[in-house]
Structure 1
Amino acid sequence: MARTKQTRANAAPGAGMIFALRAIGLVIFARWLFSMSNMDVLTALSAMASSPWACINLVFLFLLIFLPGARARVERPFHPLPQWLRQALRLFAFLGFLFAAWSVGAFAWTAGLRRAAHAVAATNGWLLAAPALYAAVLWICRPRALWRTNTGARRFAIGRYAISIDNVTRTAVVWMESRKLGQYDARELSVRWPGGVIDGGSRAAKETPGGDAKDAAGSGLGAVPVAAAPDIQAQRDAAFDTREAQTDANQDNHVGADTDAAARGVDGQHTAEPPATAPVASREPAIARATSMAPPRHTGPGGWLRRPKIELMWDSPAAAGHNRQTVFRVSLVSEGDRTAARALDASLRQAG
């Protein structure tokens, strides 16, 4: 008999994250029960009641296995957990990682590497697996945007901020992780590049006749410093004037040398002297001209210690006290963040 109700072949986005967190919690809980099985039940319960670290682990395992409030939703692919649960798991996982790494490190320091290697083999690698599991929970619950960048759907992800633009209603919704910052009029939002940096992609799309903003945003035009273009014609004129001045000076030297030779010939002192040769022309104008003709290099503020940043500004003339208010300020860490920032700027310019 054929089914009347269609079932989904693919799981909802975020279901894999829930499965991974529960699997890690079950592994830690099973290992804990195995280690407690060698002790008496009353002794184990009394030891757990008198140990604050055991109570923290119990709360952490409860949250990690049951995940209260977690639900996989299509509109939140990277945040199936509530914000409070994500923050609590991140805190407990960080404390557990510190405790596990400190315990293993102190034991290896006091007992020596050989005894530490024997202990790792006796526990089937659990001394190394426990810190790795806590670190995995930290990585899964790391700060992320609500979705990935999708320029066609007008969804942008920059750092941990997510922006969606509706072209029909001309509204923009800004999210910080899974928390909604607000809903704004897209015509009142603008991207500002602090530090003297301009948006090359969107400005190129705006100035190019018939150009597409998406193509310009996806091109290799990055954020470059504001600098005036070198006046090549003026440098060429200056180099030409310098060469003419040097030519006049060489001619004067030739005339002076001929006059001295004629005077010596009249006096009867015919000394064989080599003819005066013109000095070699300076190559500095040519080098300067070649340097000015070379394409400018990218000397933006990006780097390991200083990364380019953008600001999303809200300028609402109708809302008193909200003129030029900063919605968020974020650093552009990866190339995807820079591409999303240029695409967001181009989309806001089109909406305005």
Structure 2
Amino acid sequence: MARTKETRANAAPGAGTIFALRAIGLVLLARWLFSMSAMDLTTSLSAMASSPWACVNLVFLFLLIFLPGARAVAERPFHPLPQWLRQALRLFAFLGFLFAVWVVSAFAMSAGWRRAAQTVAATNGWLLVAPALYAAVLWICRPRPLWRTNIAARRFAIGRYAVSLDPLTRTVSVWAERRKVGQYDARELSVRWADGAGTRSAAPPTPVIALHAAGDAVTQSAPRASGAPSLARAAFGRRPKIELLWDSPAAAGHNRQTVFRAALTTEGDRVAARALDSTLRQV
């Protein structure tokens, strides 16, 4: 099958993430240079050399603007950044957010809220924009799976884990964010349900999503009469969880191994978990 050529009108998924991070980095750099323009070059360099926080900001801005190793690839639309770069940006953004919030809060407590409001207006809102930009980097670099759930293509996203099933070879590949956890025989995998309190149930949840491999059609069957872990407990602060288990008689010492354990925080996670459970039962 011919591959779709990526053009500017048809950019690879993940290009928007790269663009957003670089835009935030350029805004932070422009504001920093504007603040330093009030001082002469010698004073600016000496202040930067004596400030560890300035060195941290320089490294953060370098990574944020140049993004070494970042590349938008269709196979991993939510992870265009290397894992080390994403973790580094999260760390620096978290430190920057804490520092910005602390500086703004300390100034507001010492100068008073009226003077703080005047300063916000005089700086065109930068005292509030700076923490928001650091928080935006944190949100963009949050833990995510490789892709969204696509039941027809047998791709499932649960929490930060991504699961892909090949119906021809009956193999299942599992990724934790961008790192590949392993590849398993689909007949040796099973889903174990656990409620928020930690009690496990072997019965599958309802309704069951049936996947017909012949035509890749997706149909929904009637709910089973058997019991299922109650997803309503999430409303009381106890999120339901699932475990993907690998039970291989041929693997000595690896019988009944937990591939991953994930909490079902969203409705999309719950739908993907039901579909994965039903698919593995039909293999």
Query: Normalization by structure 1: what TM-score?
Result: 0.72
Q: Match of 1:141, as an amino acid?
A: C
Aligned pair partner of 2:243 in 286, 293, 311: 311
Counterpart in the other structure of 1:61 = 61
SS in structure 1 opposite 2:183?
strand
Q: Check 1:309–1:196 CA distance in 2 against 1; reply closer, same or farther (3 A cut).
A: same
Counterpart in the other structure of 2:255 = 323
* 1:201 and 1:216 in contact (8 A); partners too: no
Confirm or deny that 1:127 pairs with 2:127.
Answer: yes
Confirm or deny that 1:343 pairs with 2:275.
Answer: yes
Q: Check 1:31–1:204 CA distance in 2 against 1; reply closer, same or farther (3 A cut).
A: closer
Large movers: runs of 4+ above 6 Å: 219-223
* 1:301 and 1:308 in contact (8 A); partners too: yes
Q: Check 1:204–1:128 CA distance in 2 against 1; reply closer, same or farther (3 A cut).
A: closer
Cα distance in 1 for residues equivalent to 2:231 and 2:278: 23
Q: What is the identity percentage for the equivalent residue pairs of Structure 1 and Structure 2?
A: 72
Cα distance in 2 for residues equivalent to 1:223 and 1:68: 52
- Greater share of helix: 1
Cα distance in 1 for residues equivalent to 2:210 and 2:18: 42
SS in structure 2 opposite 1:302?
helix
1:58-87 CA distances to partner (integer Å, 9 max, x unpaired)? 000000000000000000000000000000
Cα distance in 1 for residues equivalent to 2:44 and 2:227: 64
Gaps of 5+ in 1: 1-5, 207-211, 227-297
- Greater share of strand: 2
Q: Match of 1:61, as an amino acid?
A: L
Cα distance in 1 for residues equivalent to 2:72 and 2:46: 39
SS in structure 1 opposite 2:206?
helix
Confirm or deny that 1:48 pairs with 2:48.
Answer: yes
CA RMSD of aligned residues (A): 2.3
Query: Normalization by structure 2: what TM-score?
Result: 0.89
* 2:210 and 2:279 in contact (8 A); partners too: no
Counterpart in the other structure of 2:264 = 332
Counterpart in the other structure of 2:148 = 148
Q: Check 1:191–1:102 CA distance in 2 against 1; reply closer, same or farther (3 A cut).
A: same
Deviation of 1:300 after TM superposition, in Å, equals 4.9
SS in structure 2 opposite 1:58?
helix
Deviation of 1:225 after TM superposition, in Å, equals 4.4
The higher relative CO (CA closer than 8 Å, separation ≥ 6) is in 1
* 2:208 and 2:274 in contact (8 A); partners too: no
Counterpart in the other structure of 1:276 = none
Deviation of 1:94 after TM superposition, in Å, equals 0.3
Q: Check 1:221–1:40 CA distance in 2 against 1; reply closer, same or farther (3 A cut).
A: farther
* 2:152 and 2:217 in contact (8 A); partners too: no
Larger radius of gyration between Structure 1 and Structure 2:
1
Cα distance in 2 for residues equivalent to 1:214 and 1:342: 13
Counterpart in the other structure of 2:138 = 138
Deviation of 1:10 after TM superposition, in Å, equals 1.1
Counterpart in the other structure of 2:110 = 110
Report 1:188-199 matches (<5 A).
188-194=188-194, 195-197=199-201, 198-199=203-204
1:138-169 CA distances to partner (integer Å, 9 max, x unpaired)? 00000001000000000000000000000001
* 2:208 and 2:275 in contact (8 A); partners too: no
Deviation of 1:7 after TM superposition, in Å, equals 6.3
Confirm or deny that 1:30 pairs with 2:19.
Answer: no
